[in-house]
Each structure stands twice: as C-alpha cells, then as structure tokens.
A = this chain, B = another copy of it.
Amino acid sequence: MAAAPAIRLAVDAIVFGYREGRLFLLLIQRRFGATKGMWALPGGFVLSSEGLTTAVHRELKEETGIAVKWMEQLFTFGDDVHRDPRGRVVSVAYFALVDPSALKPHADTDASAADWFPLDELPKLAFDHSTIVRTALDRLRAKLTYQPIGFELLDRDFAFSDLETLYTTILERPLDRRNFRKKFMALGLLKATGKSRQLGSGRPAQLFRFDRKSYETLQQKGIFLDLNAG
C-alpha cells in the first residue's frame, strides 16, 4: 500500500475533578476555527515526534496549565468521518482524576479560557465531545467497582465521610455507611493519621491517608469492591 492519505491524529483529555460532593469536568474555550467560542475538551494534534501519552500531557498543560501524573487511555474515536469540521481527525481520548482545588486552570495560547464545570451543568460541547464525556463517565463508574480510586481526588488527609461522599457522588446512589466502611477498611489501604477534623458542629472525624504502596498494588491487580449496597 502507498502512503496513507492525510488523516490527522489528535488526543483529548477528560479530566474529572471532585470537590465538596460534586464532580467537575475541565473544559477549554476554543479560540480559533469554526468552533471558536465553544467549549471543548482540552486536546490537540499529536506531533510526529512524540508518543500519544506525551501528547495528551503536553496539550493539557499547554491549554490549561494543569499537569497530571497519570492518564488512562479511554477509547479512540474515529468511526465518524465527519466528527471534526476541520477534516478527518481521529482522536485518542484519555482520562484522569484530580483534586481541582489544587489546580487552578488558566487559559493559554490555543484556548481563550479554561475552567471547571459541574458535570450536571455542562455547556454544549464542540465536536463529538459530549459522546466522549459520556463514555468516560461510564468507564469511571465501572472502574469504581474493580479498582480503588480516591487517591487523586481527595486531599492527602481526609475523613472517611469524604470518601463515602465521593463514591455516592460518582455512582449517583446512596451506599450503606457501615458496609462501605467495613469493606473499604478491609482492603487495608487507609492509614489513620491520628489527626482529626471538625466542621462546625458534630463529632470530629478522624483523618486518613491512602497507603500509596497498597493503593498502587490494588490498582494493578484489579480488586473486587462489590458496591451494590456498599
């Protein structure tokens, strides 16, 4: 076969943030082209000299100023030949989880703005980015049941109730507090810090921290954390 026709390859980043019981999505406002002014996922074209993973990290950094440690490949979108008005663009989507309070996005050259949006109040998105976000959400929910998450989304020290709220927020359904705590504790990836925290009234909550080693081990292994009722 001769040289391939000009398909352009892009990467997109779905960055979920969690704060105070709400899930957020990181978006940028497009500065150029037919989609100028619309909100979209951070992303852009892959350079021929860089790997895909490098490319997403670079684009994310360039467009929002945010650096994340880890992104997971989600899916490659390229069945619809017209998904991008600029021509044939195939996009490899990656997703990440971060604590948004630590990361103030700032717009850069390619974006006129960058900001966090609550998941239930997303603006209309450019391209097929709504589909991509939906796919990412599905994956995130599925991921909860076979891998621990939270490390990237919570403060270093957190109360158990923070973890519970995180899970109920993502799953959009309640969990049984006792059962959830029992199961999660049994995984042995939380360390008590000895410290405690109090918000207004109520009994102070003891603070925990993830044990990084076991956390990463469990992430690899694919554990079970059946979460029907918690």
Contact = CB atoms under 8 A, between A and B. Distances in A.
A47 interface: yes
Contacts of A47: 4-5
A224 to B, nearest CB: 9
A78 B45 contact: no
B51 A79 contact: yes
Nearest to A33: B1
Given A51-B79, A52-B76, A76-B52, A8 B1 contact: no
Contacts of A81: 48-51
Contacts of A49: 5, 81, 88
B79 A1 contact: no
B110 A1 contact: yes
A80 interface: yes
Given A52-B90, A75-B73, A90-B52, A4 B45 contact: yes
A48 B78 contact: no
A interface, size bucket: 20 to 34
Interface of A: 1, 3-10, 44-54, 73, 75-76, 78-81, 87-88, 90, 92, 110, 142, 222
B79 A45 contact: no
A87 B1 CA distance: 14
B9 A3 contact: no
A52 B90 CA distance: 9
Contacts of A44: 1
Q: Considering residues A7, A51, A87, A222, which has the most beta carbons from chain B within 10 angstroms of its beta carbon?
A: A7
A94 to B, nearest CB: 10
Contacts of A76: 52, 73, 76, 92
Given A51-B80, A79-B53, A81-B50, A45 B1 contact: yes
Contacts of A10: 4
